[in-house]
A and B are shown apart, each in its own frame.
Chain A
Amino acid sequence: MLVLFGVTLRALPRIFRYRRNLAEQLFEIGNASLFMACVLSLFIGGVLSLQAGPLLAQRGLGSMLGGLVGASLAKELGPVMMSILIAGRIGSAMAAELGSMRVYQEIDALRTLNIDPVEYLVLPRVVAISLALPCLLVFSLLIGSAGGAFVAALNPEVAVSATAFFNSLKATLEPRDIIHGLIKTFIFAITVGVVCCNQGLDTMGGPRGIGRSVTKAVVNSIVFILVLDYVITRMLLPFTQASMAGGF
């Protein structure tokens, strides 16, 4: 996997040659995941408000709900949930497609045409997922905040108006929080792309092998996302603690 990552990185300067493949992959990712990302984010924001709202309201901290929901979405839930969604929807498709290309000799055919399969197939996919996932995070943050505000306003146990919710969000959420989330998402995206492409290229056997590769690709991606989430959070903590202290 690290070898594939290294080879993909080395091929990065030639991405312009594969702009058509890149555009196709970007369209695939956006088309397949935007709606699901919106639905997921809406409910994550709503559930956050539903869980944290009453607790904060009981302690007279209801006005901080927007900041809590925004920070949770930007730094933790948005990156992790969007990455898991993409691993399940796009990563699995990548592993299946490359796996079937491997099984049905399409990758061998590329090699005989003197075309590097990593440049032709892996590079556009990894770059596309790395560009698309951070964009999805921004969507997720917007839609999730709207979901949180909606529940906060409608739930009598919370009873925080949308204006108060978004004022709290504006006062608490700093650009560095969003950058924190974007950095995480970017790293998760590369991980999902490389893990899934690697599994696809390593596929052996027939349709059963493809199925096994897809399962392994998704499971490994999720494990990597969660492990990396801790590592990156730990590394970025000194940079974001200041904003947390100021906000809460």
Chain B
Amino acid sequence: MTSAKIAESGVAVRVRQLRKSFGSQIVLDGVDLEIQPGEIFVLMGPSGSGKSVLLRHLIGLETADSGEIHLNETRIEDEGIRDRFRLAMVFQSGGLLNSLTVGENVGLYLSEHRLKPAVEIERIVQEKLALVHLGPKDSLKYPSELSGGMKKRVAIARALVMEPQVVLYDEPTSELDPLVAVTVGREIVRANAVTRATTLVVTHDRDLAFGIANRIAFLSEGRIVAVGTPEVIRASQDPLLRRFLSADFTRD
């Protein structure tokens, strides 16, 4: 996928000098990012580099010590931001409510906010489930009856129901075998094609990152080390990035 194919829709996300510490531990150390409307932007980095914390700031689950996040020209702290912009997040664990069926999980946003009548919600739920290759029978299951990959797909369907302008994915392929990981990666690309939403994927899965990204940023120790297209990132001579990309299991 190239940047030229990106539609001029979605929301621009700008992060300026974002800092966050937990106690004495600095997690984000002046992060600057610019994400274009509608693109698939992958934030890659080793475990513990602050990727998920950055994502939680973008969705408003964490408050920064300093720095700014803008959606288009609006600061994320501004009142009513959630009324102006629809942001959805797919959690690492799926974040599905175990007490609800798959169908109820997917339709939760619409039913709780009373946005559509029940019949219409049911139709939308089935439509979104079909987009991630799940059928009407699956909508009656409980999350505990699903495999890891299915949970992720349901979580994607739940995010799509919001008709989001920004979708955030936290480690979407973690705990999945390579085949299912590929399927989830395809679902992310397909969802982006359908919604044209700005898509930010946090992962340390190199195959996923290079497979789906329009652009990639590499985060290490709370700082952005490199940003660019997959080709630029591959060609980067930054030693941290080189070590991350070339890490391989070899037997002595």
Give residues in A with beta carbon < 8 Å to B.
101, 104-106, 108-115, 120
Contact = CB atoms under 8 A, between A and B. Distances in A.
Nearest to B110: A113
Interface string B205-242: 00000000000000000000000000000000000000
Nearest to A24: B99
A106 B96 contact: yes
Contact of B112 (A108, A109, A120): A120
Contacts of B113: 114-115
Given A105-B91, A108-B61, A113 B108 contact: yes
B28 interface: no
A104 B93 contact: yes
A113 B91 contact: no
Interface in B86-110: 87-89, 91-93, 95-98, 108-109
A115 B112 contact: yes
Nearest to A97: B99
Contacts of B91: 105, 108-109
B87 A112 contact: yes
Interface residues of B, number: 21
6 contacts: A101-B98, A104-B95, A105-B95, A108-B61, A109-B96, A113-B112
A85 B89 CA distance: 40
A68 B238 CA distance: 83
Interface in B161-204: 162
Contacts, number: 47
A109 B95 contact: yes
Interface of B: 56, 59-61, 82, 87-89, 91-93, 95-98, 108-109, 112-113, 158, 162
Contacts of B109: 113-115
Contacts of A106: 95-98
Contact of A114 (B82, B92, B95, B98): B82
Contacts of A104: 93, 95, 98
B59 A112 contact: yes
Interface of A is mostly: helix
Contacts of A115: 108-109, 112-113
A22 to B, nearest CB: 14
A105 B95 CA distance: 5
Contacts of A120: 112
Contacts of A112: 59, 61, 87-89, 95
Contacts of B60: 111
Contacts of B108: 113, 115
Contacts of B112: 113, 115, 120
Please indicate which of the listed interface residues A104, A109, A114 has the most CB atoms of chain B within 10 Å of its own CB.
Answer: A109
B88 A105 contact: no
Please indicate which of the listed interface residues B56, B95, B108, B109 has the most CB atoms of chain A within 10 Å of its own CB.
Answer: B95
Given A113-B108, A113-B162, A114-B109, A108 B82 contact: no
A106 B89 CA distance: 12
Given A114-B109, A115-B112, A109 B61 contact: no
A110 B162 CA distance: 13
Contacts of A108: 56, 61, 89, 91, 95
Given A110-B97, A115-B113, 13 more contacts: A105-B91, A105-B93, A105-B95, A108-B56, A108-B61, A108-B89, A109-B96, A111-B59, A112-B87, A113-B108, A113-B109, A113-B158, A114-B109
A113 to B, nearest CB: 5
* Among all A-B residue pairs, the 9 with the closest Cβ atoms: A109-B95, A105-B95, A112-B89, A105-B91, A113-B109, A115-B112, A105-B93, A106-B97, A104-B93
Contacts of A101: 97-98
B237 to A, nearest CB: 37
B130 to A, nearest CB: 21
A115 B82 CA distance: 11
Given A114-B82, A115-B108, A109 B98 contact: no
A105 B174 CA distance: 15
A138 to B, nearest CB: 29
Contacts of A105: 91-93, 95
Nearest to B60: A111
Contacts of B88: 112-113
